[in-house]
Structure 1
Amino acid sequence: MDRRKFLKGSVLLSGLLSLSPTELWSSTKRVTSPGAGKAKNIIFMVSDGMSLGTLSMADLYSRNILGKESRWLNLYHEKTVSRALMDTASASSIVTDSAAASSAFGGGIRVQNGVLNIGANGENHIPIWQKYKKAGKKVGCVTSVTITHATPAGFCVNSTKRNAEPQIAEMYAELGIDILMGGGDEFFNPLKREDKKDLYSVYKKKNYQIMKNGIDLKTIQKGNKILGIFNTGALPYSIDRTHLKELQNTPTLAEMADAAIDQMKDHPEGFVLQIEGGKVDWAAHANDIAALIHDQLAFDEAVKTAIDFAEKDGNTLVIITTDHGNANPGIIYGTDATKNFNSISNYHYTNEYILNKIHKDHSAKDIKDWIYEGHKLILNDDEAKHLQSFYNGLEKEEGLYNYKKLPFKLYSEIQKSRNSVGWISMDHSGDYVEATAYGPGSQLLKPYIKNMDLHYLMLEACPL
């Protein structure tokens, strides 16, 4: 690691912590929030699975290592936004899944985990993007996971099963959603769908411009509907995209958001756009600190894109929140906590990439060498042999997005002793979360809300 960069980060944090709360908050000029009036456009942003610790650590990493405050926290310091704590429960549990959470936003009602906008008696609740589409606005969804995943789908469709992604892909075409960008080639490609349907042809017949890589974003023709599918499955984690050349033709969340806004901003009736940082949730499920921080920062870049547009436009309500917490990560107290946390800047890849590169024929020394190369961590023999046991079939680990049964939990525990970041679990949590609003209608956000309240806030701020 560059010693000067590390020392600069350490001094930055030390200086920040030496300020009194009064000095910290008075150091930024107060700016009046443009909250009055009605909104013409809505940008609804979801950092999926973002516990408060995730928001905090991303901001600390940005300050310490990158030398700048995160855009989301800067909004608080500028005092230009309304802010709330939000209860994220579903109809079936105090701990929600993404489908029920998105249905609260999209349908205005709490439903059972696993379903999209369908009530307890089987009744359909019209998703909010359908309402705005009918009212004449352009509607869109942008995500870093599959475009048919639960969070974008909750704003658009009704389904008894959140996992019915092949069918959701068909529903989007029928509804004529104007902008769709994310991953999920397997749900559109006839060579990968079980029913062999060619949904790309279906979308082309409906006058969609099809995009497959980041370069295509520069070829968007004004007035076109857009289907941008940039990967099979989810898009790559941000830190891997940065360090692996073969992934760098995949657009970032901010690039997709900017393209979507630019495509819809001149529509006379306005637009509504959902932007999801879906890989934040996947990183939390894997207890993968490098993936988590860098995808949260990628989401923060998309926040900047949205706020920059809204500041110039003056008619756009931006809502920034999460659908639920996940794994509740946080920095653990200790004399070396700052130094240990800053060492995460030595991680050049996700844990997923590192662990995928280990094979059963690798020796303990091979594993130690590889871990040091990718994360600058020095493992002892026992730790290397413990990791090795997973690849020899002696131990297994489950996990929602751990298809290859990689030792995510074990490796995060090894990292914990070096980076001072701990996790309470590998799954969703029921804690209250942050909700932030900027622009016309932001004054409607009260200090404490339930997730479905945001549905009605949008309808009041931006009437049909």
Structure 2
Amino acid sequence: MIRRDFLKTGTLSALGISLLSATETFGQLFAPDERAVGSAKNIIFLVSDGMSNGTLTMANLLSQRMYGRESKWISLYRENKVVRAFMDTASADSMVTDSAASSSAWGGGVRVNNGSLNVNADGSFNTPILQKFKSAGKKVGCVTTVPITHATPAGFCICNKSRSDQNGIALQYLPLRFDVMMGGGDKYFNPSKRKDKVDVYSQFEKADYQLAKTKQQMQALDHQKPVLAVFDNDALPFSVDYAHDQKLQNTIPTLSEMTVKAIDLMKDHAEGFVLQVEGGKVDWAAHSNDTPGLLFDQLEFDLAVEKAIEFAEKDRNTLVIITTDHGNGNPGLFGEENADQKFDLFQKFKHSNDWVLNSIKPNDTAANLIAMINDAQGYTITNEQAKDILTHYQKLDGGGLYNVRKLPFERFGKIQSEYTSVNWGSMEHSADYVELAAFGPGSTLMNPFVRNTELHNLMLNAAGVKV
């Protein structure tokens, strides 16, 4: 804010730039506001996992055309309410990071190899930031739309040489007594679903945690005891599917609802709180080239941003950081011809590509498939395209990271692009520099271009926590 105001005044010449010594730099002139250090009582760190810049752009376009308002994230830019930066997301062993290494860069302050959670190549550990804040007396927690044991929340919480050890991560959370842990992942806590048959839920209950498995149970939670809330077997439903399924709406909370509840559970703590919020299924949609899944989950993440900013504006003691850990798929709206009309089809969508492809049966006819897609997504594919999709159910050869059934996500995405003008560059993470925004006390500590590890110390410094 100070740097921007300084530039706007046009007083650069008044500083006598020509009088700078050879040892002085322009960077020294634009040093962060020292008053920001130690001034944030609370921190809310929001991550839209796997958000390419095209995702942010298209979600804003959809919001404007469907709801008549821009996204909260973009409005923060337009209204000049945030410090904005670009972030280098690389891991220790690759320019293209995975979510474990990227969250560990923030969580532990050190770049680690892909797949690792705060564990260095030599086997040594980096203490995760929520453990540091908990030791400093703050309440801490994570909420996510994927399993609470997944890479992004885990990177703020624990050390593990493998992000895949989600059964082990569930048990690692137990002794930490973090105040709020909400998301999916029942299969990692439920004895009937774990290979070792360990009843992790009962261990949390014996340790005096409050448990919640439905929206109603979440709403009844109080701030007296730590919370473990798990709402689905694996990840939570895509937002576009959720919006058209009353049963899901009655039993599972949205990301914004979890965010509001988590803040409410921790906001009155005398020493403040630190909360990580992850829109995890943005990444899952990108891995599947699932455009409706992607865009509506990004809009739900944006609503969580709105709720966090609303709290911070009233509280005036809260640093809000909004970013992504890496790009994924690099989707975009392409082509001048009928692009507006094609993109507007998303306003008719009732279901994600994930819902459609998982609803198809190998013996479905082309006519049935055409009708189903028309009802679910509002456009009519050709008979040849329907037959093409159905052939993949005979061989199940589809790719994509979370595509357990090997369904034809990539092929369906390419067919869908003919009707929506949204195309994808890949089904994998990218090395793109990503968007980063900060609001509130401590935001002026952020430089215009940062390495992902810098956010670790920025948060500690903003809160005045020395470790």
Distance in structure 2 (CA, Å) of the matches to 1:125 and 1:36: 26
User: Which amino acid in the other structure matches residue 92 of structure 2?
Assistant: A
SS at match of 1:123: coil
Distance in 2 (CA, whole Å) between partners of 1:184 and 1:442 is 33
Say yes or no: does 1:302 pair with 2:301. Answer: no
Residue number in structure 2 paired with 1:433? 434
Q: How big is each residue's C-alpha offset from its partner over 1:6-55, in whole Å with a ceiling of 9 and x where there is no partner? A: xxxxxxxxxxxxxxxxxxxxxxxxxxx9x846101111110000000000
Residue type of the partner of 1:442?
Answer: S
Q: How far 1:374 sits from its partner (Å)? A: 1.0
Q: How does 1:275-290 map to 2 (within 5 A)?
A: 275-290=277-292
Query: 1:335 pairs with 327, 337, 342, which one?
Result: 337
Once residues 414 and 195 of structure 1 are traced to their aligned partners in structure 2, the CA distance between those partners, rounded to angstroms, is 43
Is the Cα contact below 8 Å between 1:36 and 1:439 reproduced in 2?
Answer: no
Alignment of 1:60-459 (within 5 A): 60-248=61-249, 249-393=251-395, 396-459=397-460
Matched residues in 1 for 2:437 and 2:203: separation?
A: 38
Q: In 1, Cα distance between the equivalents of 2:451 and 2:441?
A: 21
For 1:210 and 1:44, the matched residues in 2 are separated by 24
Rounded Cα–Cα distance in structure 1 between residues aligned with 2:323 and 2:442:
16
Q: Distance in 2 between matches of 1:263 and 1:136?
A: 15
Distance in structure 2 (CA, Å) of the matches to 1:400 and 1:392:
20
Q: How far, CA to CA, are the matches of 2:54 and 2:386 in structure 1?
A: 29
Residue 6 of structure 1: aligned partner: none
d(CA) in 1 for partners of 2:105 and 2:196? 32
Per-residue Cα deviation, 1:411-448 (whole angstroms, up to 9, x for no partner): 11111111110100101000000010000000011110
DSSP-derived class of the 1:429 partner = coil
Between stretches 95-104 and 239-248, larger displacement belongs to 239-248
What SS does the corresponding residue of 1:326 show, helix, strand or coil? Answer: coil
Secondary structure (helix, strand or coil) at the match of 1:428 reads: coil
1:389 is paired with a residue whose SS is helix
Is the 2:36–2:462 Cα contact (8 Å) retained in structure 1?
no
For 1:270, give the aligned amino acid: G
Structure 1 counterpart SS, 2:243 = helix
Q: Which moved more, 1:42-51 or 1:222-231?
A: 222-231
One-letter amino acid of the structure 2 residue matched with residue 252 of structure 1: T
Query: Equivalent residue for 2:20?
Result: none
Kept in 1: contact 2:399–2:409 (CA 8 A): no
SS in 1 for 2:87: strand
Deviates more, 1:335-344 or 1:428-437: 335-344
For residues 299-343 of structure 1, give each alpha carbon's deviation from its aligned partner in whole angstroms, at most 9, with x where no partner exists. 001001110000011111000000000000000022211111111
Q: What's 1:3 paired with?
A: none
**Cα distance in structure 1, aligned partners of 2:318 and 2:206:** 32
Cα offset for 1:392?
A: 2.4
Q: Percent identity?
A: 52
Where structure 1 has 5 or more consecutive residues not aligned to the other structure, the ranges are 1-32
Aligned-residue CA RMSD (Å):
1.3
Superposition TM-score, scaled by structure 2 size? 0.91
Paired residues, what number?
431
Distance 2:393 2:200 in 1: 39
Letter in 1 for 2:298: Q
2-structure distance, mates of 1:165, 1:58? 31
Deviation at 1:409, TM superposition (A): 0.8
CA drift at 1:463? 1.8
Q: CA deviation at 1:369?
A: 1.3
Counterpart CA distance in 1 for 2:394 and 2:207 is 51
Structure 1 residue aligned with 2:462: 461
CA-to-aligned-CA distance 1:111-166 (integer Å, 9 cap, x gap): 00000001121110000100011111111000000000000000010000001111
Bigger mean CA deviation after superposition, 63-72 or 220-229: 220-229
Tell me how far apart the structure 1 counterparts of residues 134 and 223 of structure 2 sit (CA, whole Å). Answer: 18
Which structure 2 segments of 5+ residues have no match? 1-32
Question: How far is the alpha carbon of 1:284 from its aligned partner?
Answer: 0.5
* CA–CA separation in structure 2 for the residues paired with 1:367 and 1:396: 19
How far apart are 1:222 and its partner, in Å?
2.8
Distance 1:87 1:221 in 2: 39
SS of 1:274's equivalent in the other structure is strand
1:21 paired residue number: none
Looking at structure 2, the residues matched to 184 and 379 of structure 1 have their Cα atoms a distance apart, in angstroms, of 35
Contact residue 399 and residue 410 of structure 2 kept, 8 A: no
Q: Displacement of 1:460 after TM fit?
A: 1.0
Instruction: Write the distance in 1 (CA, Å) between the matches of 2:194 and 2:383.
Output: 45
1:122 partner letter? G
Give secondary structure in 2 for the equivalent of 1:335.
coil
SS in 1 for 2:227: strand
Preserved contact between residue 138 and residue 264 of structure 1 (Cα < 8 Å):
yes
**In the aligned structure 1, how far is the partner of 2:139 from the partner of 2:36?**
23
**Aligned letter for 1:315?**
N
C-alpha distance after superposition, 1:51-79 (max 9, x if no partner): 00000000000001111111111111111
Task: For 1:114 and 1:106, locate their aligned partners in 2 and report how far apart those are by CA, in whole Å.
Answer: 14
Cα distance in 2 between the residues matched to 1:67 and 1:406: 35
1:178 touches 1:225 (CA, 8 Å); kept in 2? yes
Could you list the per-position Cα deviations for residues 227-275 of structure 1 after superposition, in whole angstroms to 9, with x for gaps in the alignment?
1000000111111111122321210001001000000001111110000
